[in-house]
Amino acid sequence: MRMKTNTPYNAQACKRLGSVGCVTWCATLLCLLSARIAQAHPGPAEPPEFPAGPCVTVIDKSKQTQYDLSYYVTIDDTAIDLATDIPLPDAKSHQFFALAGTVIPNGETFRFYPFDIAESDPVLLPYWITVGDVKRAAEASTQLTGTTFSAADFPHDMVLEGNADFTGRWFRISSDNARLPIRIMQSSLPVRWDLKAVPPGAYTIAGYVFSPPYNTWAMRPGVVKVIDATANPPAGAVSSITESVFSYQGRRVQVCLDVPNGTQMAAYYHVEEQPALGWMRWLDTQPVETGDLDLCFNAKDMSFSGSVRLRVDLMAPDGSVTSLHSHDTLTWLHGKGTCTESDTKCCSFAGANVATEAVDAGSVPDASAPPEASVGAAVDSGAATAQASSPAARGCSTVLIDHAWRPHGALLLLGLTLSSLRRRSLRRARCAPLGKPSACCRART
């Protein structure tokens, strides 16, 4: 059996070291992993799951200094197998964090885009919280008896604490010395988050699975926005955009927002296979309000094909910027044809070649049919339309702001089914970037 591990991530870090520290680090991690790979360890312990909730949850710390976080697990997972697990007292446990950025699953790793830097490259989210955790794991492993190393031997991007890329962008919700056993009964109790030292801002709630040597993460859908009497930063999230889109079509993009009055928005796209192109604008700066935006994406450049990620920048009146990145990508394909509206496709962009209402005794062109091959596209520029709906008009709560997006049923069901089967068979952690509609906004679908 070929097991997937965090090894590629570690190997990249080793290559960057190129020193004695690399030898020590790699020897440590290889010893931690190699014997267990041979035993076909199924991967990390059971990850936490999160109940459906609003896209943006607003907490006013001037009115409440604590917040109770809910999660659950469906099985107990505390047994330690000495042949495959590292026997630490807190192995097979959960811990919770607030991360000031978008976290995106990327194979065996997680990519982190800070909310406060628009033009940033993603950084890898570490699998270890402290150097002390790695030392304890090394000392407890029977394959590493007598091994010694110092904090200087660790690549900075392998440990969260002290990592310059995350300075001021992560906060513990639960402490290292109070990690929670993975039990159904334990998960029925909320995790209390003390907000007194947490600055206002937008946060992704992350569940950490401490299961050495196979630690991992699980993300809570949506974001939590912390405000106080003096600060109300913009926050939001971009819905799933995964789909194949031809260059004569537009992709509907739903964005939920909770922003102060006077906020401006601009949007960009990035071709993952062509990083040298940078981020290209597809939506000019325009005012936005709290609510749901329904945008229509179409790239200005029609000559490429590839994976496209979207970014939405929110500029507050005080000059601060919150950058939201899509959790997934759409596949952009070069072609020509006519654009037909659907649940996921839109035609409200400049130069769209919109299908006529009726052809040949009432037949409607099939937008899913393969397009003609082309050397030039009929669409001349990218554009977007935005419509914001008032939460008051929709009857949504103003205590916990509920701006949930509408996931696409078939894709969501398939994704969750495959993810569940994968977790049950491999017991690997999963991260579900899709949000789920709340009871309030579900009535709109």
Distances (CA, A) of 136 to 144, 401, 412: 11, 42, 40
> pLDDT tens digit string along 391-410?
333 333 333 433 333 334 44
What mean pLDDT value characterizes the chain?
77
pLDDT-derived band at 86 (thresholds 50, 70, 90) equals: confident
Residue 351: in which H helix or E strand, if any?
none
pLDDT of 421 reads 43
Res. 336: pLDDT tops 80? yes
d(CA 221, CA 225): 13
d(CA 175, CA 96): 8
Is-contact 170 162, C-beta < 8 A? no
d(CA 287, CA 239): 20
pLDDT of 42 reads 58
Mean pLDDT (whole number) for 61-79: 96
Residue 401, classed as helix, strand or coil, is: coil
The residue length of the chain stands at 445
Written as six digits, the tokens of 250 are 């537009």
> Which CATH number, 2.60.40.10, 3.40.640.10, 2.60.40.2550, 2.30.42.10, labels domain 235-391?
2.60.40.2550
Q: What is the pTM of this model?
A: 0.73
Res. 220: pLDDT tops 70? yes
CB burial of residue 357 (10 Å; 0-12, 13-18, 19+): exposed
In the chain, CATH 2.60.40.2550 covers 235-391
pLDDT of 7 reads 36
pLDDT of 110 reads 95
- Hey, which residues does 60 pair with through a beta bridge? 227
Higher model confidence: residue 136 or residue 193?
Answer: 193
Res. 101: pLDDT tops 50? yes
- Residue entry with tokens 């001037």: 62
Written as six digits, the tokens of 304 are 């490429």
- Residue entry with tokens 């992704």: 204
> pLDDT tens digit string along 224-246?
999 999 999 999 999 999 999 99
What are the backbone angles phi and psi of residue 114, rounded to the nearest 5°?
Answer: -60, 145
